[in-house]
Structure 1
Amino acid sequence: MVKRVHVIHHTHWDLEWYFTSNESFIQLIYHLDEVMDALEQNKIDYYLLDGQMSLLDDYLTSFPEQKMRLQTLVESGKLQIGPWYTQTDELIISGESIIRNLNAGMSLANQLGGYMNVGYLPDSFGQGKDMPKIYNGLGINNAVFWRGVSEDVTVDREFNWKSEDGSSVLVSNIKDGYFAGLGLIYDDDYQGQMDIVRNGATSDELLLPVGGDQRYVDRNLKERSGIYNKHLQDYHLEESTYEDFFRELPKENLSEVQGEFISSSVSKIHRSIYSSRYDQKYLNDKIERRMIYQVEPLMAMADQMGITYKQGILDKIWRLLNRNQAHDSAGGCNSDKTNQAILARYTQVDQLSYSIVDYLTRKIAESRPKVQENDLTIFNPLPWKVKKVIKVDVSTKFSTIKVTKNSKDIPFEYINTKREYNGSIKRTLAEMDENKFYYIHTIALEVEIPSLDFTTYQVEKGEVKNSGDNKVSKIENSHYRIEFHQGALHLYDKKSKKTYHQFIQIEDSGDEGDTYDYSPAYENDTYLFDFENASVKTSGESLLQTMTIEGTWQIAQNLNSRAKKIRDQEISYQLILSLSSDSTHIDCHLTIDNSAYDHRMRVLIQTPLENSFSYADTPFGVAKRPVEDPHIKDWREMGWKEEPTAIFPMIHYVNTHNEKQSFTLFSKGIKEYQIVGNKFDKIALTLFRSVGYLGRPDLLRRPGKASGNEFKYIATTDSQLQQKLTFKFSIQIDRHFSAAKLSQDYLDYALALPYYQIQELNLFTTTLKYFVSNPLEEKINYHSPFTLESDTLAYSSFRKSLKNNGYELRLYNPDTKNSVKGGSIIFNHKKAIEFVDLKGELLSKKDKNDIVDLGIFKPGEIKTIRIV
């Protein structure tokens, strides 16, 4: 029987890489002329524009007159576009970002005639385990990708990829790459080309992708296909699309696989790219956290108070952020000029997003009934009641203060006080008006706030209190005691009555890798540091205690010094450990002033367990991973592309546990970990890597040609990260592992509660404070709309619905094995709810009620509830 070869004519258009998006845009505007001409003149039948709409978004901004021409080609099926906005990274980007990316791509493509309904990610550095349920939730049932499938899992090109909830996509694994068909254009090895795409195929329907990076239109495609057809008896080549291929592909007897694909058995996977350009990953994490857990809920709350919901600005921010989440951009494996452009976009979305929070908190606080000077309004953007100790700054004339609510004192403690001046600036202190001085008090305050609501406290004149610094070298709360002794940190867990000696250490090693991969120096020297000769200061009382450790480490300045075992560079650091009164978190704030080159620094945390597996959160679940790859010793003999070191990605946390104890590290922006130690009893978080080249050849962990551009060394001086770097992580010890509880514990740790103080002494608490602002004409009459009561689900998002005037609450079951009862939503007034998909399309309804049972959630299942 003759095998049909579906020739997929396409380009892979990296938005940016060793070139900037501005540089590639010039190529794009002329390339699209060639594409449209070739399609209109029937020189080619079909063309795939890389599955991402950001290209056309940019193009039509400059050339809106071409919209109808493009729309005609899309509607005819000749030009394939979408469904993505940008081709996302799947392993270190949040689930909500991935959904927003597809929402934006589909919306823009629909304006031009529709999108290719295929999950097309031809070059992402690994495939995330949650993608089938994300795809199914958006109506996508087929997917195409290249990297990451281990031959231990399947050697088939086509298979069903399933999630724990039963979601499934039919996959075509283009295991030879999106450029595999270029032999059709360049050589006459007719049978050899067919052998490549036939190997592993499950039927007589074969795929031959013909394209490459920023690839021009192959105007001789028909001619070359005709030549191949003349020389092949058992194959017939025809121009096609991925959608046509999946329609023709026999679906019977295909294998089923689950999980993530991050193996280097058949392609490079860059398992340590998660720590390249830490500075950018930190910003991405911060902005995702603010957008998902502050901006969108606050905007939904404000909408119910009569403050217009501004979907347009949210779209702008998400699209800018999605550009930074494309696989190369998120990885940081770019030229310096490209990474500078990425940082500029992060700065833009950082300013836009925090300005929304500033504006809304002020507008709401100033529009309450009975507004008084020194009112302090604190917001809870989460769908459950929050009770915790937070840090706030208050500006007041009072040198000492008290905080009250309804005339009752609220527990607080001073952290810091500074005296400021609010008159016209003068050159000397003597010229300043004594009456225009005021105080900024940083305090630890115990608050309790209903779900999706705010509470107002009053700042009043108080009696003298002095928290002061302590002379003891320990801090403690109801859960832990931390002591500094002889240059080392020791942790006592009060519940288990266990002591962990030297529970935090720092490791430094040479890094002769590149922006894609860590690789040890050929002549390496690795150090393990405690905090010897450091200065230690403790402060605080019962609400918040801190220990501040400051010192220096001596390391090699560069690879030459490391090879000679010389430590000729001093690295200064500050580590602040914090314990809130009844919190299970040990919060760690580490600052390192990096002034050395070509090295990697990790923090090593002692766990109570000898581990066989680690557990890390994924966009919508948890991944269980072995602490050592079974092929770590024979990967070279097997022809793998890089060493399968058990370095793994995480979104927000990594955990180890057994039946009696659970140990978790939460992070803000740290995305890479490894389980290390002789007994695999330590978790190593990669803080940062300093490297000087985009790609290098013949790494110890990755033999052969350089990744990226194999023909030129591209220096990346900025990727040496010669700057002061800040790292935030938290340690938590529990009796039992619960993924749902950890998702809430993460938010308890990572989410700052926004606040606004009514005062005119300090016009620079935020940038927008300087501007005048009208309160709402009608005073706010607002109460918490609902409370989520569930200890089995993870909260994903709350925002206004894109389809109607309702609001969408997204939840999921992070348990990968068990179905759970989802709990309930308690409303103040009876409400009707609808279950919708990830596009907002209706799935089912429930009648009005004041308590709504959420029903059963299958393992890993995502549900979106629209409150009508």
Structure 2
Amino acid sequence: MTRHLHLISHTHWDREWYLTFQQFRLRLVELVDNLLDLLDRDEEFRHFYLDGQQIILEDYLEIRPGQRKRLEQHIRSGRLGIGPWYVQNDTFLTSAEATIRNLLHGIRDARRWTEHPMMIGYLPDQFGHISQLPQILRGFGIDNAILGRGYKPEGHAGKSEFEWASPDGSSVLAIHLPNWYNNAQRLPVEPEQSARLLGWIAEKSERYASTKHLLLMNGVDHLEAQETLTEALRAVRPLLSQDTVIHHTDLASYVARVREEVELPACVTGELREGDQYYLLHGTLSARVYLKQASQRTQDLLERYVEPVAAWNALLGLQAYPHDALSFAWRKVMHNHPHDSICGCSRDAVHDEMLARFRQSDEVLNALLERGQQSLIRQVDVSGMGDNDQLIFAYHTSSRDRTDLVEADVDVLQEDGEDAGIRLYDASGRQVPHETLGRRKLGKRMLSPINLPTTIPVTRHRIRFQADAVPAMGYAVYRVEVVKAPNTEADSPVRIESSLSVSASTASSESSALSTQVMPTNRPPVLENEWLRAEIAPNGSIRLTDRVTGLTYEGLHVFEDDSDIGHSYVSHPVLNDTVVTTADAVTQIECLSGGGLEQSYRITIPWSLPIEADEEGGRRSELYRECSIVTEVTLRQSARVLAFNTRFDNRVEDHRLRVRFPVPFSSGVCRAGGQLDVVTRPDALEWQRDRNTHPNWRFVGLTGEAGGIAMLNEGLHDYEHTHDPEGLTLTLLRAVRSISRRVPGAIDEYGLEEGHQVQGEHVFTYGVHVHGADVSHAELYLAAEEFANPIRSVVRPVKDDRWKSGRPWVQEPGIEGMFERPDPNASKPKLPLTGSFLQLSEPRMLVSAVKMAEDRDSLILRLWNPEEQAIEGNVAVDAAEHTSGGAYLVNLLEERERELLLTEAGVWIALRPKQFVTVELPLER
């Protein structure tokens, strides 16, 4: 049988890493300039692949805009391969929607260049692969994956080709690169050397190949196209054996030939995280954790607030959907998602620029959100309300009704009196108790597109109240009444009836949210509601009782610090490690809020840690330095989550900080939130690693026969399932000396970056969720989503008359008043005081995306099933008169696949276990 060597010329382009983006971009410009010259002069140079990243073209053309026609010529001819990704992102540290939008933007951009972009699931250097990636690839019409890490052929019949499936059964032909993506990095021009090299490469590849089609990758990180390749191929071909043919070709042609002959071994299902620590590079889960936190905050802002609010406005015909601004924000976020960027393993300057990109995206998104919120609240029906009343529009995008605390800033005009107070009423007219968290006088800036800005003197009341049963994917409106100088009992605020109770030693249960009280040492403080009882021990640990299951968890929330002499990619300890914990700490415990709607305590630990680690000596320093660690632990009324907000002042080096949560039962598996999945991981160690940590998205939990707990978190992706004692640990930060190490015991000139020691103050947000033994995957995922995404609020006066202020002119022309612009939505239907934009009859069906279609006036919903059983249910959209154009099942490119039945009750959706679908509802105008 003839042996076919498929030679793929390519570069692997890390946009930023050990050089900054701009430094690498200058090299990129030279690479593409030289490549275009090579393609122009050498017609036998058949193909070059641009790493599957469309952003390469963006970055190049920003410097070389005049080269567009030359690029287009070679792309259309098929000699320059582009697509399908926008960037080569890390998929464990980014949301499922980020990966989907990555491919959506990448393929749509590529199609502007050519009708036939490379539809290859090219994943050369990601540090493992998420479980749902085959289903995502299939959703874009990609039936293959070529990957460099996460899979070890030795454990799978020794073959590099295999069927890889997501938990729903969607599968792709996967081809592993056992000899990496540079196994034919450069071919010598000298024919004997080239023939010898090709024989060596073929022999190594045949050990794993299932067919006679072998993949030879001609290129590697940042290398330019081999300009002598045609000459080398011409010289070596006569020296190859008669049964060997070498093709200078492209990945699509290679995959097609493999598919014709391959007989795949047993299917591999789920995530791919096989290999040792230097292969999987799992230390990146917690390197520069502040980047992970920023990324999750921005993605949540995009996915859980801005896009749904913009879609609701478009659905109601109130505002045009801001496609271009959202595309800009998504691209800014995705610029931070390449695997050497979000993984935190680059230069200090690279990560500084990433923070700037997150800020730019956040600024755009917050402005879009404010406009969208104001548009919705303006449309609320205010019939029967007083002219001086105000509205609080409280909303969320969870797929179930929510009861939670809401905070809002209510501004009262100072002309109403310094002692003016407020009352709060729900849609039924019932007065709602609230707490005042603070007041301050300020000048409220009034901005207008047609009048110059000015300020109005107000007193800002920061209030907190409980919003009960705010409808799923919906809102509730509260009326605010200003009470001038209340001086009678009738004018006083309603007393808060709280489910919270406190120990005898705590502050009064009156609504004194701003009070602070140091706790006596002989009486442990207790936080308690109908679900939980949490007792704070003198060392700051928590004894938590689930009042439903009766389970008690002892010694929760002990901090643990050990050494880390690894680098940004890999974590490992010194030989003779010293592990420091807060188990014997002396703490100061203060009551911040002793009742009402929320109980909160501050735990201060004056903790001393070794100042550094000595790699050569194999031990931590005997010199210690104090690093304060301060935690606010909070329990809200009706909450099943005990929340923690921890501040740590990192003043030492070469260490790893974690927080421990032991459990009183044995559990052979843990459940971790994933990307459109809840992943069940066994506790068996299959690979030798110094640290047995794993990724989670939003939560990780353990469940026993009587119940369990889940650790909810914001951007803390690194956890370990421990066994002595049984429990979970969350990694809060890792402080190391370098990006990486090429030489043992030495750091190269590009690797020593001070920022990897992450000095200074860090803030971590996480919580403990208690549950019964029968808790569903959906319940855990929803609890984690809601923990990170509170009910938001926006405030607006019923009548603008007293609030209108500004200057129509810079000078004083003698014209009084201001310019007016009519409300374009004044004649449109009003919104009731409570409402839901989207309802799901099946509570286990979750929502991943609510947006408008990329290229037509349609609402797009992405729905998924986290369970291991099939589910089905009805999906109804409010304002159905706007979506009477039918319903369609679409792929991830938003191309219609089949029509769905749309009735007055909505669309019926049936989902296989772990399946997700995308539904289109065209709008009728």
Instruction: Please say if 1:88 is aligned against 2:89.
Output: yes
In structure 1, which of residues 211, 235, 240 is the aligned counterpart of residue 244 of structure 2? 235
In the aligned structure 2, how far is the partner of 1:833 from the partner of 1:518? 50
Q: Which residue of 1 aligns with 2:681?
A: 625
SS of alignment partner, residue 730 of structure 2: strand
Label 1:93 to 1:403 Cα distance change in 2 as closer, same or farther (>3 A).
Answer: same
1:308 maps to what in 2? 320
Match of 2:786 in 1: 748
- 1:566 CA displacement: 2.9
In the TM superposition, what is the alpha-carbon distance from 1:296 to its structure 2 partner? Answer: 0.2
Query: Does the aligned pair in 2 maintain the 1:403–1:458 contact within 8 Å?
Result: yes
Deviation at residue 782 of structure 1 after TM alignment: 4.8
CA deviation after TM superposition for structure 1 residue 275, in Å: 0.2
- Provide the C-alpha distance between the structure 1 equivalents of 2:379 and 2:830, rounded to a whole number of angstroms: 11
Shift of 1:176: 1.2
Among 511, 518, 527, the alignment partner of 1:467 is: 511
1:175-574 equivalences under 5 Å are 175-182=178-185, 184-185=187-188, 187-188=193-194, 189-190=196-197, 191-233=199-241, 234-249=243-258, 250-255=260-265, 256-265=267-276, 268-303=279-314, 304-370=316-382, 372-396=388-412, 398=419, 400-406=421-427, 408-414=429-435, 416-422=437-443, 438-460=459-481, 461=483, 463=492, 466-468=510-512, 469=515, 473-487=525-539, 488-530=541-583, 532-559=586-613, 563=619, 566=622, 568-574=624-630
Letter in 2 for 1:686: T
Conserved? CA contact 1:270–1:516, under 8 Å: yes
Is the 8 Å Cα contact of residues 361 and 754 (structure 1) preserved in structure 2?
no
Mapped contact 2:285–2:717 kept (Cα < 8 A): yes
| CA spacing shift, 1:846–1:261, aligned 2, 3 Å | closer
TM-score, normalised to structure 2's length?
0.85
- The Cα shift of 1:411 comes to 3.6
Say if 2:665 is the partner of 1:656. no
Name the CA distance, whole Å, in 2 between partners of 1:774 and 1:517.
59
Stretch deviating more after TM superposition (87-96 or 249-258): 249-258
Is the aligned partner of 1:818 residue 2:872?
Answer: no
Deviations 1:255-307 (A, max 9, x none): 22112221225961111210001111000000011100000000011212421
One-letter amino acid of the counterpart of residue 718, structure 2: E
Aligned-partner Cα distance in 1 for 2:124–2:620 = 43
Cα RMSD after superposing both structures: 2.7
Q: Does 1:778 align with 2:825?
A: yes
Decide whether aligned partners of structure 1 residues 185 and 773 sit closer, same or farther in structure 2, where only a CA change above 3 A counts.
Answer: farther
Question: Structure 2: which amino acid aligns with 1:402?
Answer: R
Q: Distance in 2 between matches of 1:772 and 1:648?
A: 59
**What is the CA-CA distance between 1:799 and the residue it aligns to?**
0.4
Which residue of structure 2 aligns with residue 793 of structure 1? Answer: 845
Q: Is the 8 A contact 2:282 2:694 kept in 1?
A: yes
1:7 is displaced (CA, Å) by 0.2
CA-to-aligned-CA distance 1:378-420 (integer Å, 9 cap, x gap): 2233454333222333333556433113573444442621333
Verify: 1:11 aligned to 2:11, yes or no.
yes
The separation in 1 between residues aligned to 2:99 and 2:908, in whole angstroms, is 24
CA–CA separation in structure 1 for the residues paired with 2:875 and 2:457: 53
Distance in 1 between the 2:263 and 2:468 partners? 58
Partner of 1:635: none
- When residues 818 and 758 of structure 1 are mapped into structure 2, their CA distance, relative to the original with a 3 A threshold, is closer
Residues 786, 825 of structure 1: 8 Å contact kept: yes
Residue correspondences, number: 831
d(CA) in 2 for partners of 1:199, 1:599: 41
Deviates more, 1:69-78 or 1:710-719: 710-719
Q: Which moved more, 1:520-529 or 1:15-24?
A: 520-529
- Partners of 2:163 and 2:704 in 1: CA distance: 32
User: CA 1:18–1:782 in structure 2 vs 1: closer, same or farther (change >3 Å)?
Assistant: farther
- CA shift, 1:365, in A, is 2.5
Q: 1:148, 1:266 within 8 Å by CA — same for their partners in 2?
A: no
For residues 346 and 777 of structure 1, do their structure 2 counterparts lie closer, same or farther at Cα, with a shift above 3 Å needed?
same
* Cα distance, 1:403–1:36 mapped onto 2, change above 3 Å: same
Give the superposition deviation at 1:516. Answer: 1.0
C-alpha deviations, 1:141-194, integer Å up to 9, x for none? 111110111232352111111112221111121121111112534854332122
Q: Which runs of 5+ in 2 are unaligned?
A: 413-417, 446-455, 484-490, 496-509, 805-817
Quick one: percent identity of the two aligned structures? 23
Distance 1:485 1:28, change over 3 A: closer
Asked if the contact 2:399–2:843 (Cα under 8 Å) also holds between the matched residues in 1, the reply is no
The aligned residue for residue 162 of structure 1 is 165
Alpha-carbon offset, residue 678 of structure 1: 1.4
Gap change, CA 1:778 and 1:856, over 3 Å in 2: closer
**3-state DSSP of counterpart to 1:161:** strand
TM-score, length basis structure 1: 0.90
Name the residue aligned to 2:104: 103
Hey, what does 1:152 align to over in structure 2? 155
Contact map agreement 1:788 1:825 (CA 8 A) in 2:
yes
Deviates further, 165-174 or 751-760 = 751-760
Query: Match of 2:916?
Result: 862
**C-alpha deviations, 1:47-103, integer Å up to 9, x for none?**
001100001012233433322322221121111001000001021211100000001
1:739 aligns with one of 771, 777, 786: 777
**Distance of 1:486 and 1:267 partners within structure 2:** 41
In 1, are the aligned partners of 2:713 and 2:766 still within 8 Å (CA)? yes
Judge which range, 393-402 or 245-254, deviates more: 393-402
Matched with 1:431 is: none
Deviation sequence 1:594-639 (CA, Å, 0-9, x none)? 121111100111223322222212211122222241343xxxxxxx
> For residues 217-255 of structure 1, what are the alpha-carbon distances to aligned partners after superposition, in whole Å with 9 as ceiling and x for unaligned?
201112222343333213221101110011111344212
Q: 1:407 to 1:622 in 2, by over 3 A?
A: closer
* Higher Cα radius of gyration: 2
1:847 corresponds, among 893, 901, 905, to 901
CA distance in 1, matches of 2:434, 2:662: 31
Shift of 1:580: 2.0
Greater mean alpha carbon deviation, residues 401-410 or residues 550-559: 401-410
After superposition, give the CA deviation of every residue in 1:642-685 in whole Å (9 maximum; x if it has no partner): x2642101111112224442321111111110011414x21100
Change in 2 beyond 3 A, CA 1:260/1:730: same
Contact kept in structure 2, 1:12 and 1:214, CA below 8 Å: yes
How far residue 524 of structure 1 moved from its aligned partner, in angstroms, is 2.4
Tell me how far apart the structure 1 counterparts of residues 395 and 875 of structure 2 sit (CA, whole Å): 23
CA contact (8 A) 1:332 1:515 kept: yes
CA distance in 2, matches of 1:597, 1:52: 37
> Higher mean Cα deviation, 196-205 or 713-722?
713-722
Task: Specify whether residues 272 and 526 from structure 1 end up closer, same or farther in structure 2 by C-alpha distance, changes over 3 A only.
Answer: same
User: Aligned partners of 1:755 and 1:100: how far apart in 2?
Assistant: 28
Q: Classify 1:444/1:521 alpha carbon distance in 2 versus 1 (closer, same or farther; 3 Å).
A: farther
Distance 1:413 1:299, change over 3 A: same
Quick check: 324-333 or 492-501, which moved more? 492-501
What SS is found at the alignment partner of 1:229? helix
